[in-house]
Amino acid sequence: MSSSFGFYMIFAACLTAFFSALTLAAPASIEKREYTGRATYFEVGLGSCGQTNVDSDYIVALNPTTYAGGAHCGKKIQITDKATGVHAVATVRDTCPGCGVDDLDMSPSLFSHFENLSKGVFEVEWNFL
């Protein structure tokens, strides 16, 4: 009976080592979510992230839900104009209480990178980098 017990102990140790190695070797699963929403622009200044910005900075403000209490402050996002395919990278620096869930409020220079300010609003796709 002791030989059976020893066999099971060795077998259990081998299984544990095998699955531990698999866990270490497996790449981390990272979900990259694509957001689709409307883009508008605002006059920047002291943002919700606690930094003062100027209109020429490529920054965005997120709706309160996505802003998540500042969890995304300083994160970069990739933005694409759905109509033209033009893209840019911007930094999250503020919150936009009037924005929809996947909408972005942009600094004037960032908005102008995509469209003329007189357009006022356009459709975008974006994701966190």
Q: Which residues lie closer than 8 Å to 16 by C-beta, 6 or more apart?
A: none
Give me the mean pLDDT over the 68-74 stretch.
Answer: 97
For the segment 47-62, what is each residue's pLDDT rounded down to a tens digit?
999 999 999 999 999 9
For the segment 108-117, what is each residue's pLDDT rounded down to a tens digit?
999 999 999 9
Q: Residue 33 — pLDDT band, cuts 50, 70, 90?
A: confident
Q: What is the pTM of this model?
A: 0.75
Burial of 47 (C-beta count, 10 Å sphere; 0-12/13-18/19+): buried
Residue pair 100/38 in contact by the 8 Å Cβ criterion: yes
